[in-house]
Amino acid sequence: MEWIKNKNLKQSFFIITALFLSAGLLLAALSFYLCLEQGSRFSDAPGVTISLQDDSRFVTSPSPKETNGTLEQNAARILAFLQFGLPVFWVILSLILADVLFYNLKIRRPLALLREGAARISRQDLDFALEPLSRDELGQLCASFETMRSELKSSHLK
């Protein structure tokens, strides 16, 4: 993970998002395929048909109003929901995890350092140093903040 820390923010965000999205899409395809395979067990159940309507709704036939809801029919309905719901879940989860990892790797520590530096400067405490944690944009911001702090300190001493 150290090589990602040395990239700039845009490159890091793209790499992390692409890796996690690839994993999410792989899990989505796998779950769709497994649900499809399991659904073939229920395709022989009498009177149960799973179809996707033109308005993007999936429908099992016969509808629950027309049947008493046998175990096979209920399992087929659940499987139809999972077949379309799990891929969406995996993609959304992978994007959320990518964002959390990006924040923790690239933003959390420099932001805390800048926040603490600003608080110390506002208290007129200039006897500290802000060391940049990386060479990315936030590291450059920390370096600029350190320059500003040292200029303020020399101005106060004069």
In angstroms, how far is the first alpha carbon of the chain from the final one? 45
Note the pLDDT of residue 53: 74
Cα-Cα-Cα-Cα torsion 80, 82, 87, 91, nearest 10 degrees, comes to 150
Average pLDDT score over the chain: 86
Tens of pLDDT along 81-137?
A: 999 999 999 999 999 999 999 999 999 999 999 999 999 999 989 999 988 888 889
Q: Give me the residue spans of the domains in the chain.
A: 2-157
| CA proximity to 27, closest of 86, 73, 106 | 86
CA atoms within 13 A on the CB side of 64: 6
Under DSSP, the state recorded for 110 is H
Q: Rounded to the nearest 5 degrees, what angle is found at the Cα of 68, between the Cα atoms of 62 and 72?
A: 70
- Position 67 confidence tier, pLDDT thresholds 50, 70, 90: very low
Q: Which of 29-33, 40-44, 107-111 has the lowest mean pLDDT?
A: 40-44
